[in-house]
Structure 1
Amino acid sequence: MNYKDAGVNIDEGNKLVEMIKPIAKKTLTDNVLEGIGGFAALFEIKNYKNPVIVSSTDGVGTKLKIAFMMDKHDTVGIDLVAMCVNDIIVTGAKPLFFLDYFATGKLKSEVAVEVIKGIAEGCKIAGCALIGGETAELPGFYKEGEYDLAGFCVGIVEKEELIDTKSIKEGDAIIGLASSGIHSNGYSLVRKVFFEKNNFSVKDFIPELGMNLGDALLTPTKIYVKSIEALKELKIKGMAHITGGGFIDNIPRILRKSIAAKINKGSWKIPTIFNLIQRLGDIEEREMYRTFNMGIGMVVIVDPSDVDKALEKLNGIGEKAYVIGEIVESEGGVIL
Structure 2
Amino acid sequence: MLNKHDTIGQDLVNHCVNDIAVCGASPLFFLDYFAVGKLNFDVAEQVMSGLVKACKENRCSLIGGETAEMPGLYKKEDYDLAGTIVGLVEKRKIINGSKVKRGDILIGLPSTGLHTNGYSLARNVLLKKFKLVTYIPELKTTLGEALLAVHRSYLKPIKAILSLDGVHALAHITGGGIIGNTSRVIPKHLKLNVDWQCWERSYIFQLIQKTGNVPEEDMRRTFNLGIGLVVIGSSKHTGAILSILKKMREKPVVIGTVM
Q: Are 1:291 and 2:206 an aligned pair?
A: no
Deviation at 1:164, TM superposition (A): 3.7
Q: 2-side partners of 1:152 and 1:251: how far apart?
A: 23
Match of 2:133 among 203, 207, 216: 203
Deviation at 1:240, TM superposition (A): 0.8
1:59-74 to 2 correspondences below 5 Å: 69-74=1-6
Deviation at 1:141, TM superposition (A): 2.1
Residue aligning to 1:34: none
Deviation at 1:259, TM superposition (A): 1.1
Q: Are 1:150 and 2:82 an aligned pair?
A: yes
Q: Are 1:136 and 2:68 an aligned pair?
A: yes
Residue aligning to 1:254: 185
Deviation at 1:113, TM superposition (A): 1.1
Residue aligning to 1:33: none
Letter in 2 for 1:319: E
Match of 1:217 among 144, 147, 160: 147
List alignment gaps of at least 5 residues for structure 1: 1-68, 329-336
Q: Is contact 2:179-2:192 (8 Å) kept?
A: no
What is the CA deviation profile of residues 6-65 of structure 1, one whole-angstrom value per residue up to 9, with x for unaligned ones?
xxxxxxxxxxxxxxxxxxxxxxxxxxxxxxxxxxxxxxxxxxxxxxxxxxxxxxxxxxxx
1:220-235 to 2 correspondences below 5 Å: 220-235=150-165
Match of 1:171 among 103, 113, 116: 103
What is the CA deviation profile of residues 65-101 of structure 1, one whole-angstrom value per residue up to 9, with x for unaligned ones?
xxxx101111100100112111101111111110000
Match of 1:110 among 21, 27, 42: 42
Q: Are 1:279 and 2:210 an aligned pair?
A: yes
Letter in 1 for 2:15: M
Structure number, greater radius of gyration:
1
Letter in 1 for 2:6: D
List alignment gaps of at least 5 residues for structure 2: none
SS at match of 1:230: helix
Structure 2 length normalisation: TM-score? 0.97
Q: Is contact 2:192-2:256 (8 Å) kept?
A: yes
Q: 2-side partners of 1:191 and 1:173: how far apart?
A: 34
SS at match of 1:150: strand
Residue aligning to 1:66: none
Q: 1-side partners of 2:212 and 2:3: how far apart?
A: 26
Q: Is contact 2:96-2:185 (8 Å) kept?
A: no
Structure 1 length normalisation: TM-score? 0.75
Percent identity, aligned pairs only?
Answer: 49
1 or 2 for the larger relative contact order (CA 8 Å, sep ≥6)?
A: 2
Deviation at 1:168, TM superposition (A): 0.6
Residue aligning to 1:311: 242
What is the CA deviation profile of residues 127-171 of structure 1, one whole-angstrom value per residue up to 9, with x for unaligned ones?
211111001111232222221100110101011111141211111
Letter in 1 for 2:164: L
1:16-31 to 2 correspondences below 5 Å: none
Paired positions, count: 258
SS at match of 1:166: coil
